[in-house]
Each structure stands twice: as structure tokens, then as C-alpha cells.
Chain A
Amino acid sequence: MPRLAYSAFSLLRQGLNRHRGWPAAWRTPEPKAHYAAIVVGGGGHGLATAYYLARNHGVTDVAVLERGWLGGGNTGRNTTVVRSNYYFPASGALYDLALKLYEGLSRDLNFNIMLSQRGMLMLAHSAHELEFARRTVNAIRRNGIDCTLLDRDQVRRRLPILDMSPDARFPVVGGYRQARAGVARHDAVAWGYARAADARGVDIIQNCEVLGFIFEGGRVVGVETSRGAIRADRVGLAVAGHSGVLAAKAGFRLPITSYALQAFVSEPIKPILHEVVLSSATGVYVSQSDKGELVVGGGLDLHPSYSQRGNLPVVEGVMSGLVGMFPCFANLRMMRSWGGIVDVVHDSSPIIGPAPVPGLYLDCGWGTGGFKAIPAGGTLLAHVMATGEQHPIARPFGLERFRTGALVDEAAASGIAH
């Protein structure tokens, strides 16, 4: 537990002291010369890995190295959706592990991640989509995950602002819904893991860029950084869109292509949208934040990119899709848009496990859906780094699947990019 537990009592006590006594949530240590384990990447996945190394495996001699600032990459750039409605059993087990951990995370970390399980509704726009939705719902329920098929009237009752008129641009014939899905505060997830990991002795080192790897006898034994060489018994990579860049420094290639994924936030309005809505026809997904802003996402900018911004044609496509579904949003102004660099794999499933180089471990390839998986990515990377063995849930997601052909093809099964 951190030095000062967050509670109503500590809030009251600090309030009486005019909030002058709050300690820093984590230390800013100088890097040591050697650690038992180094995690590269101070986003959600990297911080969660450090936390679970300490909590689940008792490995507390850990450093998290972050090139910029904590949660400044995709963890702070996503649309905050959490869900586990995946088609294949392997994916269902993986993403539901994450969702179950999210459900207890505020208590576990003593940090309010503001999880709001308001439900997520996937729209079906044709009889064929509805048929496939029925099949998907059956598969998800067989995976032991809650999911309900909705007919047209049930969708209408849930989303009265959805255009369901006879001449609607995107006719809606039904949909399906996961009630346990929802949103969580993305920054709080990074900060909560950082604070809890720090309390267990993990060194979080920001502004520390990994420039290369130190090899001994063909094995990775440390990293060269902008703050000098740091050695470690094991090194984990949780760097999302930059996985290919670091893999190249370690001398191997990955089945990953990096793309920009954009997101948008509108001006705040009164509560109007009570769950997360996704349309497969438009690729648009939208929810309303606690501050009242619409948080909107869409498809990828479909050419490789490392610039954390997107192009205008995708903006136009997302906005026209949004307004086509919800004409009442037509007069809303968008306040901000931004992009994150996502690591897309051919089968839209992540890569977890040992790298082709001994001493190095991977947690990458989450593509457009990394945020929802943070607790699982951290748990599974920590497990393989601490034990040298893949966790049973991670086994289908090793790098070897591209050689054996045992892909977990959610790209085809989900029909969406994430």
C-alpha cells in the first residue's frame, strides 16, 4: 500500500490541512546500474507489468523506462472503452481476464479508475449483419461472457436519438450488447498502476529513451539509454506502435505494421448518450464522457505512420458516419482531435511471450484495442518474465503462431479492426 492511502478519511484530513500535505504519488529515482527486470514503455501495459511483477511474483527490483512521460502515448490517446465481447475462446479468455481485473482495479490499486460499466451496443445495419450478430452473440456466450442480441425495437428504446427513420442513411435492424462493457478513466489507469508499482519498490524512470540493447553471448542483458547503460536479467517490451523500431535495434523483425488511429472530443453537452455505441457500417464508435463531451473514434488512417496525428479524409469519414447515425449531433463542434500510433498484426490479435532473442519478452500487437487489455497484458508479460513460462491464457498468442499458422483471426471474426 502506498505511503498515504487514498480514502474519504485522508481526503478530509488533507482538506483540513488545506491540501498542502499530499505526498507525490510516485518517486523520481535515478536509474540503478542493474535491475532484476526492466520494462520498456511507461504506458498502461508497461506499468501494469511492473506492478504484477511485484505483486504476483515478488519481483520488486524492477525499472520502467519511459521515453517521454507516463501514459503519454496510446494510454492517454485512446477512447477509454473496455469490453470483452470477442469471438474466439482464446480471445474471450484474454480480454475477459482484463475486464475482470478492471472490475476490481480501483480497490486493488487504491486509485479510482472511474470504471463505468454502462454497456456497449454494436449496431447491425442489414439482415446479414444481424445474422452474423446472432452467431457472434452465441460464440461470446459460449466463451462465458455476457452478451445479448437486441431487435430493432430494443435498440430504439436504448438509443432514442439514433436515426431509425425509413430513409435513414444507415438503417438499423438490431444489434448486440455487452452489459459489462463500458469506459474507464485512461490516465487514472496509468497513474494508479504507477503509484501502486512505486509503492512496491519499482523505479519509474521518465525521459529515458532506450537507444539499443546490450548483448552477452547472444542474450539481452540490458539496454543502452539516453541516461546511460542499465543492465537487467530480463527485459520486457511494452511499446505498442514502436515495437518494430525496438525490434530492429535488437536485430529481428515483427509481423507488425504501425498506423495512426485518430480520436475526437466534442464540446461538452448534457447527458444524452448513456452507453458506448459502435457501428460496423461506419466504423464509428462514440460514448459520452463524465464531463459531457462526446468521445469519438473511427477507423485507421490506412497507410503506415509514426506521426501522432491523422489525415483529414478519415476525419471527414468519421464525422459523416457519426452525423449519419445521430443527426442531432450535426451542430456539435469538435474541440480536439489527435492520433496515436497503433501496432496492427495481420490477425488483429496481440503478441505475448518470448522474443526471438533470449532475455527479451514481448507484449505488443494490441493494435487499436490496447487500452481495454492493459491488466491482462501486464499480468501475462509479468508471468512470462518472472517464470520463463507462458501463462495458459497467453499460450495461443506467442510469436510462433505465425510460423505454425495457428492464427487467432479476430480481424475476420470481429469484422472490425480492434
Chain B
Amino acid sequence: MLLIDCPWCGPRDEAEFRCGGEGHIARPDPDTADDATWAAYLFDRDNVKGLGFERWHHRHGCGRWFNVARDTVTHEIRAIYAMTDPKPTGGA
């Protein structure tokens, strides 16, 4: 069971949230991207074993989105940060 510290609502049960998949995926320019680039943007994922960076949505709470740095093996949450923030580095 995850206890997720929503930046607006505080620590809440995982059941209130929805994981929105990998974060920090940059959208290529659809007018210039070739099919391979566009397919990679749509479908390919790092799918990291270990520290991963994900978007989460407080669906049954404030309804806001935020980023979570989470270990996909231990499920330990290392950092919670805003959607527009860069990936935390170092001791995060």
C-alpha cells in the first residue's frame, strides 16, 4: 500500500490516486517528426527497474497532477515534485 503525499492534500491512500505513466516525455514536433520518432514518443518507454519518474493524478481528491520519483522494486517514494519541475537529481 502506497501512502502518497499529495502536494495539495497531504498524505493520502493510494486508492485515491491514478498513475499516469512515465513522466518527462517530450512531445516531438508533429510537423517534422518522422514515423519512428512519433512511434517512440507514443509507445516506447524506459520502463525502469529501480528509480523511475512518474506522473500521478489525485483523481478522487483535488484532481491535480504531480510528479513522483518512485522505486519500482521497493515502491519507496523518493520525491514528489511539480509537473513542470525537472527530474530531481543527486540525493532526491
Closest to B74 in A: A307
* Complex contacts, B18 vs chain A, CB 8 Å: 302
Say yes or no: A302 contacts B44, CB within 8 Å. no
* Complex contacts, A253 vs chain B, CB 8 Å: 40, 44-47
Near A by CB (< 8 A), chain B positions 32-91 give: 35-36, 39-40, 42-50, 52, 54, 70, 72-75
A258 within 8 A of B: yes
Name the prevailing secondary structure of the B interface residues. mixed
Interface size on B, as a range, is 20 to 34
Chain B: minimal CB distance from A33 (Å): 29
Say yes or no: B75 contacts A258, CB within 8 Å. no
B9 within 8 A of A: no
Closest to B40 in A: A253
A312 within 8 A of B: yes
Interface string of B1-22 (1 = CB under 8 A from A): 1100000000001110011011
Chain A: minimal CB distance from B28 (Å): 14
Complex Cα distance, B50 from A306, in Å, reads 8
Say yes or no: B49 contacts A257, CB within 8 Å. no
Q: A304-B52, A305-B72, A306-B73 are in contact. Are A311 and B45 (CB under 8 A)?
A: no
Closest to B49 in A: A306
Say yes or no: B47 contacts A302, CB within 8 Å. no
Complex Cα distance, B21 from A257, in Å, reads 9
Chain B: minimal CB distance from A399 (Å): 9
CB < 8 Å neighbour of A313 from B1, B35, B47, B70: B1
Name the prevailing secondary structure of the A interface residues. mixed
Complex Cα distance, B43 from A257, in Å, reads 10
A76 within 8 A of B: no
Q: A303-B19, A304-B52, A307-B73 are in contact. Are A313 and B44 (CB under 8 A)?
A: no
* Complex contacts, B45 vs chain A, CB 8 Å: 244, 253-257
A328 within 8 A of B: no
Chain A: minimal CB distance from B22 (Å): 8
A185 within 8 A of B: no
* Complex contacts, A257 vs chain B, CB 8 Å: 21-22, 45, 47
* Complex contacts, A403 vs chain B, CB 8 Å: 35-36, 39
Complex Cα distance, B36 from A253, in Å, reads 12
Closest to B18 in A: A302
Complex Cα distance, B19 from A244, in Å, reads 19
Say yes or no: B47 contacts A311, CB within 8 Å. no
Say yes or no: B2 contacts A311, CB within 8 Å. yes
* Complex contacts, A312 vs chain B, CB 8 Å: 1
Say yes or no: B42 contacts A304, CB within 8 Å. no
A402 within 8 A of B: yes
Interface residues of B (CB under 8 A from A): 1-2, 13-15, 18-19, 21-22, 35-36, 39-40, 42-50, 52, 54, 70, 72-75
Which 4 A-B residue pairs are closest in the complex by CB-CB distance? A244-B47, A255-B43, A303-B19, A253-B44
Could you give 19 example pairs across A and B, Cβ below 8 Å?
A: A242-B49, A244-B47, A244-B49, A245-B47, A254-B45, A254-B47, A257-B21, A257-B47, A302-B19, A304-B22, A306-B72, A307-B72, A307-B74, A313-B13, A313-B14, A313-B15, A402-B42, A402-B43, A403-B39
